[in-house]
Amino acid sequence: MIWHKILKHDAHPESDTKGCRKNRIKARRVLVVVALAWLLTVAPLPWLVPSVMAATFTVDTTDDTADASPGDGVCADSAGRCSLRAAVMEANALGGGPHTIVLQAGQTYTLSKDTDGGGHQTDSGTDNDDLDITSTIIIQGNGATIHRDQSLSCTLNKTAQTGEFRIFEVKSGGDLTLDSVTVMHGCADGSGNPALDGGGIYVASGGKIRIANSTIALNSADFGGGIRNRGTVLITNSTISRNNSGFSGGGILVDRGSTMVITGSTISENSAERGGGIANSGTLTITNSTISGNSASVFGGAIRTIDGELHLSFVTIASNTSNSFAIHVIGGLEVINIKNSVVGNNTNTNCGGVVSRISATGANLATDGSCPGFTQVTSAQLNLGPLQVNPPGSTATHALLAGSAAVDAVTDCADLDGNTVAQDQRGVTRPQGAKCDAGAFELFDGFRLYLPLVLRMR
């Protein structure tokens, strides 16, 4: 009937038939388009399966147990409990993400499971030794600690032993966020790389990790005691401390082709043969941070850079020790840019190696003449306080004491990219005085005013 309505009364029967066919074809096309539109907007999409959707797992036991059935969407060991290991196994099996793992506030999660033996060099997966990350996972630590059982050995003799494993390995394609968690007592030992890499955390090429409000401490490896990075790492408001490397990168090792950005953080009391705090051959950007108290038995108590890029803005490098230099430049292909920073009170020399690769801009202060482009001051003129947590910060800094040459030294309160640096490492607004202060610490305006008033009263 509908077709008759579109026929012309005076049309030839043959032309009417042809026209009717054409209209039928058009009508069918319309129906097909409508059907496809309905399928795309109303019907369930077969490719949106649960494995790529986000899941949340709340850990309810501190025991180190494996998930009973990875991929079923339920975090549960054989006893029905959700452990940290089981949660990571389930998140990896689901794929996609981001999957969120919630730890209980202030709890300690001890990793000890190594039933396949041989530490992380014999790696059957996340069910044993280190926690492999292959999907996108967010761990909400709530102040919890994740560590390897301290009763397990860690000899760093290049021979894998049962119980010698790091805490996390972020595989290629894996993406991990650590928030408000402490990672401790990892041990990277074995034969060759990556068995020897990243005592606390190893990030493979193509892997990513974000570390915020966290601490990476007391981990050991031959390369990168705390972290070895071959992928992409972002660290904010965190502490990398008391890690040890048998060779290079006591706190952190940044490899060629990798990227790391550190903001508002402290790298302290790490040790290695070379690069006590950091060994860098990749692209490393550090802003509003403190590198202090690290040691190297040979080169680079604070930082050793080999053919890498190093960009420092508002950084304090102080009280590091080595047999040579705090900042060691070697290789001759480095790009090293430093702005509005402080390098002082280090043992022996502040800067050494191919120092011609150092480009200093803004206001930079050093307690000797070894760093090109820096203004030389005495330790008394620099007047740094001890390394400690200074309010309102949560990471340790060296306070600028009264009369420090770093106070109001900066006319351009911006980083190397020209971005305004509106706060110091502790979150204190910059500037507090007429100009910004050099280094990671901005002296409170109240202290600038209060001390002279007290002196006058006396």
- How does DSSP classify residue 410? B
Q: Which residues are 188's β-sheet partners?
A: 221
Length of the chain: 458
User: Helix, strand or coil for residue 64?
Assistant: coil
What's the pLDDT tens digit per position in 344-353? 999 989 999 9
Question: What are the structural domains of the chain?
Answer: 2-41 (no CATH), 52-363 (2.160.20)
Question: How open is the CA angle 321-323-327, to the nearest 5 degrees?
Answer: 60
- Helix, strand, coil % over all residues of the chain, rounded to 5: 15, 35, 45
Residue 90 carries which side chain, given as an amino acid letter? E
* Phi then psi dihedrals of residue 72, to 5 deg: -85, 0
Sign of CA dihedral 285, 287, 289, 293: positive
Element (H, E) at 91: helix 84-94
Measured CA to CA, the distance from residue 255 to residue 288 in angstroms comes to 22
Measured CA to CA, the distance from residue 439 to residue 441 in angstroms comes to 6
Structure confidence at residue 447 (pLDDT): 52
Mean pLDDT score across all residues of the chain: 88
Ramachandran region, residue 205 (left: φ > 0; alpha: ψ -120 to 50; beta: rest): beta
Asked if the peptide bond before residue 98 counts as cis, ω within 30 degrees of 0, the response is yes
Structure tokens at 359: 């480009």
What's the pLDDT tens digit per position in 353-377? 999 999 999 999 999 999 999 999 9
Which stretch of 17-26, 71-80, 137-146, 419-428 has the lowest confidence by average pLDDT? 17-26
Measured CA to CA, the distance from residue 125 to residue 165 in angstroms comes to 12
Measured CA to CA, the distance from residue 75 to residue 167 in angstroms comes to 20
Structure tokens at 374: 């820096």
Structure tokens at 64: 């180190």
Measured CA to CA, the distance from residue 287 to residue 307 in angstroms comes to 20
* Strand ranges (E), 81-205: 99-102, 108-111, 131-133, 136-148, 168-170, 175-184, 187-188, 201-203
Q: Quick check: 343 and 351 in contact, CB under 8 A?
A: yes
Measured CA to CA, the distance from residue 73 to residue 90 in angstroms comes to 7
Element (H, E) at 107: none
Q: What are the residues whose beta carbons fall under 8 Å from the beta carbon of 144, sequence distance 6 or more?
A: 103, 104, 105, 106, 107, 108, 109, 180, 181, 182
User: Helix, strand or coil for residue 86?
Assistant: helix
Longest dimension (CA), the chain: 117
Q: Which residues are 303's β-sheet partners?
A: 278, 327
Structure tokens at 233: 């790492």
Which stretch of 37-41, 213-217, 440-444 has the lowest confidence by average pLDDT? 37-41
* % of the chain surpassing 90 pLDDT: 79
Q: Quick check: 220 and 184 in contact, CB under 8 A?
A: no
Averaged pLDDT for residues 117-134: 86
| Reported pTM | 0.86
Please give the residue that has the higher pLDDT: either 47 or 405. 405
Question: Which is nearest to 121 in space by CA: 64, 191, 69, 44?
Answer: 191
* Phi then psi dihedrals of residue 174, to 5 deg: -80, 150
What's the pLDDT tens digit per position in 310-347? 999 999 999 999 999 999 999 888 999 999 999 999 99
Give the other-Cβ count within 10 Å of 137's Cβ: 25
Measured CA to CA, the distance from residue 1 to residue 284 in angstroms comes to 75
Question: Which is nearest to 381 in space by CA: 365, 397, 361?
Answer: 365
What's the pLDDT tens digit per position in 141-200? 999 999 999 999 999 999 988 999 999 999 999 999 999 999 999 999 988 899 999 999
22 pLDDT exceeds 60? Answer: no
Structure confidence at residue 136 (pLDDT): 98
Which stretch of 42-46, 302-306, 422-426 has the lowest confidence by average pLDDT? 42-46
What's the pLDDT tens digit per position in 25-66? 344 444 444 443 443 344 443 333 344 589 999 999 999 999
